[in-house]
Structure 1
Amino acid sequence: MNDLPPHPPLDQYYRHASDRDDFVRALFDRGAPAYDQVNALCSFGSGARYRRAALQRSGLKPGQRVLDVAIGTGLVAREAVRILGRPQDVIGVDLSAGMLREAGASLPIPLIQARAEAIPLADSSIDLLSMGYALRHVPDLTGTFREFRRVLRPGGSVLLLEIDHPRSRAGGAALRFYLGSVVPAVSRLLGGGQEAQMMMRYFWDTIDACVPPAAIEGALSEAGFTSVSCDVQLGIFRAYRARR
C-alpha cells in the first residue's frame, strides 16, 4: 500500500519529507500564543458555531468519548466538552507542546503529546475522533487514517474539518489573496510577529498544495472506513465523515 502525503514537500519551508515533523512542531510551538487570535481571521464568522454543529451532525452525544487529534488550542475540543458536559470524556492529542500548553490553560481535559499516526491509546477505545484543519500536516493520509480506525470502537465515527479551494476561478483568487496575503500580514500586525505570519502563510500554502477531496475520501475508504461522505459549506469549508 503506497503512502499518500497530503501535499508534496514544500521546499520554501523544508527540503525533505522527513523534515516535516520537526518543522511543523517548531512552527506551531512558536505561533501557539497568537493562534486563537489569528485563527479568527480564517473562520469568516463561523467559528465555534460551525464546529459544534459539525460535531452534532456526526452524532456526538453525552456518554461518548472523544479524541481530538491535533487539538491545537482546543477550538474543536471546547465544543465537544459543551456537548458532552464532562471534560474527562474528551482527550486531546497534538505534536506541538506549545499548542498543548495553550489548550491546557483553558481546558481541564487529558492532553497527550503524540503524532497523529502513532496515538498512544488502546484499540477500540474512542467513540468519535475529530481533527480540525490539521489534516495537511500529517506525513501519510492512509497510514494516519488506519491509526484513526484502530482507536475507534466498532460503529465509531471520524470527523475531519478542512478548508478547500472554491470551484470558481474568481473565488479561488479571492481566497488565495485573503488567506495567502492578508491573513499572514494582519497576523503579524496583531502582535503575533514573524512567527504568526509564517504560521499562517504555511497554513495557506498547505491548503493550496493539498490533494483533492476525492483523494482524501479514497484514503479513508482504503484505510477501512465505510459511509465516507463530505459536506461543503460556503464553498470552502469541508467536513469529511466516515464510520468504522
Structure 2
Amino acid sequence: MDPKSKEQFVHSVFESIAPKYDMMNDLISFRRHKAWRKFTMQKMEMPQGATAIDICCGTCDWTISMAEASGSGEIVGLDFSANMLDIGQHKVDNRSMNQQIKLVQGNAMALPFEDNCFDYATIGFALRNVPDLVQVLKEMERVVKPGGQVVCLELSKPSWQPFKSIYYFYFQKVMPLIGKVIAKRYDQYKWLPESLVNFPDINRLAQIYREIGLRHVQAYPFMGGIAALHIGTKGSDRP
C-alpha cells in the first residue's frame, strides 16, 4: 500500500471504529494498555507545569493523564479523525479541562506547530499506522524543546517461543473475530495485525530514535514483547 492510500485507509478505519474504540481496547488487551500507560507516565516523570503534544491522541485517555500529571501546563491532543476527537472532547468537557487541553485535527506527518514548543511529544498505539514513521518521529523531535522527550508506546513483536506463536494466533485470528462480534467491524480489526507486519521490532525502533538524533534512548518491553515503550531525549545542542 502506497503512503497516500495507507493514510486514507487508516483514516477510514479509525473514523468507523471510534464509537467502540475504548471498549475494544480494553477487551483485546485485557486492559493491559492501562497498566502500560501508567508505567510510561512513571518513566516520563512529568513535572508540574510541563507541556505536551499527544500525537494521534484518539479518544484522549493519554492526553488527559498528562494534563492531570502536569496540573497547569498546556496539553495538545492531535488526531486526523474527527470522530475520535469528538469522543475525546466529550471526555475533556466532562472533566472541565477545556482551559488546559486543546484538541486539534491535524496530520502527524506535518505538525502545525513551531520548533521547540513542548516538553514532551507522545504517540500511543499509532506509530505503526502512519505512512512514514521516521517522518513522524522527526516531527515529534522538532516540536519538543531541547531536553524534551519523544515517547512512543506501541505494539511490538515477541521473539520467544512458544509465546510468539500463541500471541500471533490470537492477534491474527481471534482479535478480528472479537471486532466482528462486538464492534461489527471485521476488516478494520483485521487491519491491526497487518499493520504490525512491516513495523520495526523493539531494537530497530530504538536505533531509529538514535538515527534521528535522540539521546539517552530507553526501550522497555511489555508481556514478552507484545508491546514496548521507547523514550528519547532531544539534545540541548540541537538547533
User: Does the TM-score normalized on the shorter chain lie above 0.5?
Assistant: yes
Structure 2 length-normalised TM: 0.88
2-side partners of 1:18 and 1:47: how far apart? 29
The aligned counterpart of 2:111 is 119
1:155-193 residue CA offsets vs partner (Å, 9 max, x unmatched)? 000110011121223212211222222222122222x21
Shift of 1:75: 2.3
Q: Does 1:105 align with 2:95?
A: no
Name structure 2 gaps, 5 residues minimum.
Answer: 93-97, 235-239
Q: Is 1:199–2:188 an aligned residue pair?
A: yes
Alignment correspondent of 2:213: 224
Q: CA RMSD in A?
A: 1.6
Structure 1 stretches of 4+ moved >3 Å: none
The one-letter amino acid of 1:76's match is: W
Give CA-to-partner distance per residue, 1:67-122, whole Å, 9 cap, x none.
11000111211221221234x62110112111111111112421111111211112
Alignment counterpart, residue 46 of structure 1, candidates 27, 32, 44:
32
Contact 2:48 2:69 in 1 (8 A): yes
Contact 2:156-2:227 within 8 A present in 1 as well: yes
Deviations 1:204-244 (A, max 9, x none): 11123322223322221221111112011211220001000
Q: How does 1:1-244 map to 2 (within 5 A)?
A: 9=1, 16-86=2-72, 89-107=74-92, 108=98, 109-190=101-182, 192-194=183-185, 197-235=186-224, 236-244=226-234
Cα deviation code 1:24-77 (max 9, x no counterpart):
111111111110111112333323333122022122122100111000111211
CA distance in 2 between counterparts of 1:158 and 1:55 reads 13
CA distance in structure 2 between the partners assigned to 1:17 and 1:142 by the alignment: 13
Q: Distance in 2 between matches of 1:146 and 1:209?
A: 19
- Length, aligned pairs only: 226
> For residues 186 and 111 of structure 1, what CA distance do their matches in structure 2 show?
30
Distance in structure 2 (CA, Å) of the matches to 1:239 and 1:174: 22
Contact 1:143 1:223 in 2 (8 A): no
TM norm structure 1? 0.86
Q: Is the 8 A contact 2:202 2:221 kept in 1?
A: no
- Paired residues of 1:65 and 1:126 also in contact (CA < 8 A): yes
* Structure-1 separation of matches of 2:71 and 2:228: 26
Change (3 A) 1:144 1:90: same
Q: Percent identity?
A: 26
